[in-house]
Chains A and B, each alone.
Chain A
Amino acid sequence: MNGCHTEPEAAGALPLPDARAGQLVELRRKGETSRRDLLAGAAAAAATATAAAGCDITSVDQFLQKHYSELTDEDKKQIFARLEAQVKERSGVTVKISDPQPIEGVTFGYALNLSICNGNRRCVEACARENNLPNHPEEMRYIRVLEVPNGAFELEKSDPYFEGEVPKSGKYYLPVQCHQCANPPCVRQCPCEATWKEPDGLIVVDYDWCIGCRYCQAACPYHARRFNYGAPTIEPDRINPNQAYLSNRIRPVGVIEKCTFCLQRTRVGRFPACLEACPTGARKFGDLNDPNGELRKILATKRVYVLKEDLGTIPHFFYFFA
């Protein structure tokens, strides 16, 4: 419920400190306790129990934090302040956590020109910096650039680990990231509603609500979700201080994360970081609802290809040839 993950033996039975547990049982017998009291007790106990497991829980408030959809502005203010203080304490960097809301009437879409993408991975690096992706050996990157033999559509023939000068002859390059599906299989799989589709089509994760079961990761046909196997390790000079609660704030260990089309940028009108980093101009981003926008022009006039269209996921991410 809280994004904290302990060793199985610790999580299996919630060990209440004897005195507090006895007190709670007593109160409950008398009918004088509320659910909150009980949870608060459990939270305090869990905090004690999980501290040894190196978990992030620091307060009862954090343990009792509600689902994103139930947070009031006041709640958000407090949570953001707590998260900001956490980063300040751990890495000495002052960050600003915001919560930009979807723009009414906008559905975000992305189009990528496969004719000119040359597999240079500048987008991957820009994304990592913008979204505070860790640098440890378990490093994750939201964008995987696949090197595919010409004429092949089978992704199992592709290689994401290619090295050396690009483009290589006889290959084409297929960058894959979250497709922000209109019919997202990942969202259906989540047992605790920690991931959902926003009105502007973006699929987001409440990192404080994710239990880390990774069902969504298994469900995603685009291999777009990443799991935090380790604690976040980002050099302080790599931390991007412009953070949003649902996107690039520094994630705790044990939760799922993914590309959000840089909602901390795109919801205030800017282009995503991967687009601006592309030296070939292969990436196009915009509002699918705008009939005069670049995306609608591409969809209307270019040869457009949707990855794994047969799965019925209805991606908002298109590949085109021009």
Chain B
Amino acid sequence: MAKPVPLALGLCAALVAACSGPPERKLAPASASAHSITIELSAEHWAQFPCTQCHEKGAANTTERPLTEFHTNTGLRHGSVGGWCYRCHSNQDPDKLHLTDGTLLPFEKSYELCSGCHGDRAIDWRAGTHGLNVGYWNGPQTRRTCTLCHNPHRPAFAPMEPEKAPNPPRTMAAKEGGRR
């Protein structure tokens, strides 16, 4: 990636606050052929965590409104059905996310929340057919959590600058009156 996808608001940073290195969590093997699978979490925006530094539990104004003072660069653009911060973030416990049924969820399990709406992608991700897995095809793999590639607030990939184009063959350049 030319520019890492900016990850806002310390999503996935929950673990990091508690332990030193980038956190690692194991999932049950996704398939019989898979060896150990490590889920790689975002290591960015630790500074903003824990949210309870500023947000008191259950004290937020949950009315949707333009933010003018804090979190102004979130650029929320996720889903066409509307919804605001508290569709995913919990007001009851600002250091957690919540599922649609109200179940609280730590940030490092954010993929469970994503799965709630994006079921088909979640199935593919668990099967290893969606997402970027690195490491060994026949051994330990590191699987990226959703929010490491997709900014949860603006999940669509931003347009990016491609690497340099190949040099056209000399014959082609010559045909076009170019160098030879």
Contacts and interface: CB of A to CB of B under 8 A. Distances in A.
B171 to A, nearest CB: 12
Interface string A19-43: 0000000000000000000000000
Contact of B168 (A121, A161, A290): A161
Contacts, number: 106
Contacts of A302: 129
Contacts of B137: 266, 269-271, 285-287
Interface residues of B, number: 34
Interface in B160-175: 160-168, 170
Nearest to B139: A269
Interface residues of A, number: 45
A294 B164 CA distance: 31
Interface stretch (A77-85, A137-145, A249-257): A137-145
B119 to A, nearest CB: 14
A293 B33 contact: yes
Contact of B157 (A118, A137, A286, A294): A118
Contacts of B163: 120-122, 124-125
Q: Give the interface SS of chain B, mostly helix, strand, loop or mixed.
A: loop
B2 A120 contact: yes
B31 interface: yes
B78 interface: no
A322 B129 CA distance: 9
A259 to B, nearest CB: 14
B21 interface: no
B6 interface: no
B127 A297 contact: yes
A287 B138 contact: yes
Contact of B160 (A137, A160, A166, A270): A166
Contact of B167 (A124, A139, A144, A165): A139
B160 A293 contact: no
B162 A120 contact: yes
